[in-house]
Amino acid sequence: MLLREKNNEGFPEDSACVSVSLFDMLSSLSTALDLIDIELIDHHNRVCYIATKLAIHLQFEPEQINEIFMAAMVHDIGAIVFSDRLGLNNFEVENAHLHGELGALLLSRFDLFQEFSPLVRFHHVPWENGAGNYAFGEAVPSGIHILHLADRISVLIDRRNPVLSQASTINRKISSQSGKQFSPAFVEAFLEVSREDAFWLDLMSPSIERVIQKISCLPRARLSLESLTSLSHFFALIIDTRSRFTATHSSGVACSAMELGIVMGMSEFDSSKIRIAGYLHDLGKLAVSDAILLKPGKLSNEEWLIMRAHPYYTYRILERVEGLEDITFWASNHHEELGGGGYPFGTEADNLSLGARTMAVADVFTALAEDRPYRDGMNKEETHKVFQEMIKKEKLDKDVVEALYDNYKNINESRKSAQEQELITLSEFWDCAEEKAGYVS
Ligand SMILES: [Fe+2]
Ligand SMILES: [Fe+2]
Ligand SMILES: [Fe+2]
């Protein structure tokens, strides 16, 4: 199992692997989730801090501590599915189990995350004098009760007031639920751990990320390109599941970018990496509200300004993963233009690498050629016309566009079938999510 393979032991020494830290990966995912709702900022980090401190204090096995740490970092991931319908920040949460179920469903799509998905699935199961050892007829891991407690402590804190002045009220409130909502042994551990002011001050520290990085024992992982592709596809699912109008866009861009990379003479390694960048390029759209993202018509000026921040957030999310520098650059520069008029960095031609230029063409091509609910995708002649205009205005690279039209049939067919395949995957996911929403309440 990967978590035992510290110091990269057991990984093949093969250049088609990328070495990334599990902490970086989860931290980028949790940053992405925080973007969805301003109220959620640092919620995942805080729950991770409390849960890990409790698990260490209770002398859980190192492997269990790692699983609790990872689960806490992304425990509310299910809230992105039907994000308009789920409210998470009240002490009493409606539909609490649903986002756990949906989170576990999402996490089960990627093998590294599958292992701790039961913790996420049941993180709102109350203790109820031990009845909470089971949920929906299944035995549940004890770590869920640590997560549940940590989550509820975190939402009780009012971030506008000094935390030390709230400590005793929170302790009383949590104690009053000992044996009911929360396991008495875990409440006891919390009361002991929270005796120190430093516990509370760490918890509300603006540098909480550094605090939890210090207590993290997660190893570095050497991921094969295949595994990294599967992880980025997982991230794409998170983006795409929010936007049914452009649901398969990330997959279309990933496929066109890879095909274009190959015809532009990129190595096999780099063309696989640009496919990954394609999956990730719109990750920053998690910072854009559903109302804007799902608006079928033209965006207002104000809405457009919010929308155009998305490649900046793509950069902010990905830059924290050491080892993915090329991918981060290609993904976050997809709206830059050769003449320097793009966004968010205004990068000019001299600094736009072949990967970034290829990504920009793949993005525009996919956006024009794919079907949208309010219009059919454009045909070859129509897209060609748009591209010629963009080349004239120094927006896109002429050579990359020419390579696209020299290989139009192949690239377009691959894109189309990648998007059709993705639609099947997403439809299955949504059906499953709807079904869960029907029976869990
Ligand atoms: Fe939750
Ligand atoms: Fe939560
Ligand atoms: Fe974009």
For residue 235, the model assigns a pLDDT of 86
pLDDT: which is higher, 241 or 45: 45
Q: Find the mean pLDDT for residues 20-35.
A: 87
Neighbours of ion ligand 3 (CB under 5 A): 282
3-class DSSP assignment, residue 129: helix
Q: Among residues 56, 437, 407, which one has the least CA distance to residue 255?
A: 407
* Mean predicted confidence (pLDDT) in 257-278: 96
Contacts for 324 with CB less than 8 Å, ≥ 6 apart: 18, 20, 318
**Higher per-residue confidence, 39 vs 110:** 110
Ligand nearest to the CA of 89: 2
For residue 250, which ligand has an atom nearest its CA?
Answer: 3
Structure tokens at 7: 């110091």
Would you say residue 31 has pLDDT above 90? no
Distance 406 CA to ligand 2 centre (A): 50
**Residue 44 confidence class, pLDDT cut points 50, 70, 90:** very high
Q: Establish how many alpha carbons lie within 13 A of residue 332's alpha carbon, considering only the half-sphere containing its beta carbon.
A: 20
The pTM of the full predicted model, rounded to 2 decimals, is: 0.86
Token readout for 63 is 């492997």
Between the CA of 86 and the centroid of ligand 3 the distance, in Å, is: 26
Among all ligands shown, which has an atom nearest to the Cα of 93?
1
Residue 5 above 80 pLDDT?
no
Average pLDDT across the chain, whole number: 89
Ligand whose nearest atom lies closest to the CA of 333: 3
Residue 6 has a pLDDT of 31
Predicted local confidence at residue 277, as pLDDT: 97
Least confident of 94-103, 246-255, 347-356: 94-103
Say yes or no to pLDDT of 101 above 60. yes
Q: Tokens for 75, please give them.
A: 């425990």
Write out the H or E segment, with its range, that includes residue 1.
none
Interval between CA 185 and ligand 1 midpoint (Å): 21
Ligand nearest to the CA of 40: 2
Give 398-427 pLDDT, tens digit per residue.
999 999 999 999 999 999 999 999 999 888
Residue 380 alpha carbon to ligand 1 centre in Å: 47
- Between the CA of 428 and the centroid of ligand 3 the distance, in Å, is 25
Q: Which domains does the chain have, with CATH numbers?
A: 16-218 (1.10.3210.10), 225-439 (1.10.3210.10)
Dist. CA 307 → ligand 2 center (Å) = 26
Higher pLDDT, 22 or 46: 46
Q: Please give the distance, rounded to the nearest whole angstrom, from the Cα atom of residue 96 to the centre of ligand 1.
A: 6
Q: Could you give the residue ranges of the DSSP H alpha helices within 157-217?
A: 167-175, 184-193, 197-203, 208-215
Q: How far away, in angstroms, is 281 Cα from ligand 3 center?
A: 6
The ligand placed nearest to the CA atom of residue 282 is: 3
List all residues 6 or more positions away from 178 whose beta carbon is below 8 Å from its beta carbon: 184, 187, 188
- Between the CA of 314 and the centroid of ligand 3 the distance, in Å, is 9
pLDDT at 383 (0 to 100): 97
Q: How confident is the model at residue 17 (pLDDT cuts 50, 70, 90)?
A: confident
In the reported structure, the alpha carbon of residue 310 is separated from the centroid of ligand 3 by a whole-number distance in angstroms of 7
**80 C-alpha to center of ligand 1: Å?**
11
pLDDT-based confidence at residue 182 (cuts at 50, 70, 90): very high
With cut-offs at 50, 70 and 90, classify the pLDDT of residue 341.
very high
% of the chain residues with pLDDT over 90: 65
Band of residue 274 on the pLDDT scale cut at 50, 70, 90: very high
